[in-house]
Amino acid sequence: MYDEPRRAHHRAPGVNRACQLRNARLIEFRRIVDDIAGKIKNGELKPGDKLPSTSKRAEMYGVSNNTAYRALVILHDRELIIGQQGRGTYVAERPAK
Q: What is the pLDDT along the chain (97 residues), one digit of tens a residue?
A: 555 555 555 555 555 766 666 666 667 888 999 999 999 999 999 999 999 999 999 999 999 999 999 999 999 999 999 998 889 999 999 764 5
Overall number of domains in the chain: 1
60 inside domain:
yes
3 inside domain:
no
Q: Which helix (H) or strand (E) segment is 8 a member of?
A: none
4 inside domain:
no
Q: CATH number for the domain including 21?
A: 1.10.10.10
pLDDT value, residue 26: 64
5 inside domain:
no
pLDDT value, residue 16: 72
pLDDT value, residue 94: 79
6 inside domain:
no
Q: Which of 1, 20, 24 is CA-nearest to residue 11? A: 20
96 inside domain:
no
2 inside domain:
no
3-state secondary structure at position 17: helix
The domain containing residue 39 runs over which residues? 15-91
